[in-house]
Chain A
Amino acid sequence: MAQSTTSAHAVASPFRGAATLADEWKPRRFTSLRGVVQDRSALVGLGILLLVTIAAVFAGVIAPYDPSELDPTANLSSPSSAHWLGTDNLGRDLFSRLVFGARWTLGAAGLAAAGIVLLGVTIGIIAGYFGGIVDDLLMRLVDVLLAFPSIVLALAIVGMLGPSLPNVLIGMVAVWWVDYARVVRGLTLKVVQNDYVLSAHCCGCGSGRMIWRHILPNVIPSVIVLATLELGSLMLAISGLSFLGLGAQPPTPEWGTMLSDGRLFFLNAPQLMMYPGIAITLVVLGCNLLGDGLRDALDPRQRKT
Chain B
Amino acid sequence: MSISHRGIDRRQLMLATGAAGIAVAIGKSTSAQEASSGSVRVGVSEDGYRTDERANIGFFPLNTNIFESLVYLTPDYQIEPLLAESWEFVEPSTWRLKLREGVSFHDGTPFNAEAVKYTMDRIASNGGGVMGIGEESAVIVDDSTIEITPTYVNMRMMEQIGHPNNSILPPGLNPAESRNGTGPFREVEYVAADHYTVEANPEYWGESGAGVGEITFQFYADPTARLLALQAGDVDLIVDVPRQSASEVEAAGATLVSGPVGAYEAMYMNIHGVEPYDLGQDIAVREAVSIAIDRQQVIDSAWQGNAEPGTTMIPPAILGDSASLVSAPEFDPERAREVLEAAGWVEGEGGVREKDGRALNLTIINGYGTAADHGSVPELIQAQLGDIGIDLEIIQTPDTATYEQRLGLGEGDLWLEAGSQNDGNPAFLPELLFRSPEEGGEPEATAYGRAFATGEEFDTTITRSREATDIAEVQEAAAEAMNIVINEERVVTPLCGFYRIIGHTDAVASFDLHASGVNQRWTSLTLAE
Contacts and interface: CB of A to CB of B under 8 A. Distances in A.
Within 8 Å by CB, do A and B touch in the complex? yes
A162 B252 contact: no
A267 B252 contact: yes
A294 B371 CA distance: 43
Given A89-B376, A245-B372, A163 B398 contact: yes
Contact of A268 (B224, B247, B376, B383): B247
Contacts of A90: 301-302, 376, 379-380
Given A70-B383, A163-B398, A75 B376 contact: no
A7 interface: no
B300 interface: yes
B301 A72 contact: yes
Interface string B234-267: 0000000010110110011000000000000000
A251 B376 contact: yes
B109 interface: no
B503 to A, nearest CB: 12
Given A90-B301, A249-B371, A268 B251 contact: yes
B304 interface: yes
Of A163, A245, A249, A267, most B-chain CB atoms within 10 Å: A267
B402 interface: yes
B300 A72 contact: yes
Interface in A70-108: 70, 72, 75-76, 89-91
A267 B251 contact: yes
Interface string A135-175: 00000000000000000000000000011000000000000
B298 to A, nearest CB: 10
A122 interface: no
Nearest to B298: A72
B304 A75 contact: yes
B297 interface: yes
B223 A264 contact: yes
Contacts of A75: 300-301, 304
Given A70-B380, A89-B376, A266 B301 contact: no
A53 interface: no
B301 A89 contact: yes
Interface string A255-291: 0000000011111100000000000000000000000
A41 interface: no
Contacts of B398: 162-163, 245
B39 interface: no
B301 A91 contact: yes
Contacts of A265: 244-245, 248
B297 A264 contact: no
B463 interface: no
A75 B306 CA distance: 14
Interface in A51-85: 68, 70, 72, 75-76
B30 interface: no
B86 interface: no
A92 to B, nearest CB: 9
Contacts of B379: 68, 70, 90, 250-251
B394 to A, nearest CB: 8
Contacts of A162: 398, 402
Given A89-B376, A245-B372, A251-B376, A70 B248 contact: no
B78 interface: no
B294 to A, nearest CB: 9
B312 to A, nearest CB: 25
Given A70-B383, A162-B402, A264 B248 contact: yes
A91 B396 CA distance: 22
Interface in B246-295: 247-248, 251-252
Given A90-B376, A90-B380, A251-B376, A264 B224 contact: yes
Given A70-B379, A70-B383, A249 B297 contact: no
Size bin of chain A's contact surface: 20 to 34
Nearest to B245: A264
A76 B304 CA distance: 10
Interface string A230-253: 000000000000000100011100
Contacts of A245: 372, 398
Q: Which of A72, A245, A251 is most buried by chain B, counting CB atoms within 10 A of its CB? A: A72
A267 B250 CA distance: 9
Given A162-B402, A163-B398, A264 B301 contact: no
Determine which residue in B252, B297, B371, B396 has the highest number of CB atoms from chain A within 10 A of its CB, and name it.
B396
Interface in B361-390: 371-372, 376, 379-380, 383
Contacts of B402: 162
A268 B231 CA distance: 13
Given A91-B301, A162-B402, A264-B223, A250 B251 contact: no
B273 to A, nearest CB: 23
A73 to B, nearest CB: 10
A267 B224 CA distance: 10
A265 B376 CA distance: 14
A22 B462 CA distance: 71
Contacts of A268: 245, 247-248, 251
Contacts of A91: 301
A70 B402 CA distance: 29
Interface string B426-446: 000000000000000000000
Given A90-B376, A249-B371, A70 B252 contact: no
Nearest to A249: B396
A68 B245 CA distance: 20
Interface string B379-411: 110010000000000101010001000000000
A249 to B, nearest CB: 5
Contacts of A70: 301, 379-380, 383
B365 to A, nearest CB: 13
A163 B367 CA distance: 12
Nearest to B398: A163
Given A70-B301, A249-B371, A267 B248 contact: yes
Interface in B281-337: 297, 300-302, 304
A264 B242 contact: yes
B186 to A, nearest CB: 36
A124 to B, nearest CB: 35
Contacts of A72: 297, 300-301
A250 B248 CA distance: 21
Contacts of B297: 72
Interface string B188-224: 0000000000000000000000000000000000011
B501 to A, nearest CB: 13
Contacts of B376: 89-90, 250-251
Contacts of A89: 244, 301-302, 304, 376
Contacts of B245: 264-265, 268
Nearest to B300: A72
A265 B303 CA distance: 12
Given A70-B383, A90-B379, A245-B372, 7 more contacts: A75-B300, A75-B301, A89-B301, A90-B376, A163-B398, A251-B376, A251-B394
7 contacts: A70-B301, A72-B297, A90-B302, A266-B224, A267-B248, A268-B248, A268-B251
Interface of A: 68, 70, 72, 75-76, 89-91, 162-163, 245, 249-251, 263-268
Interface of B: 223-224, 227, 231, 242, 244-245, 247-248, 251-252, 297, 300-302, 304, 371-372, 376, 379-380, 383, 394, 396, 398, 402
Q: Which 4 A-B pairs have the closest CB atoms?
A: A267-B251, A264-B245, A263-B224, A249-B396
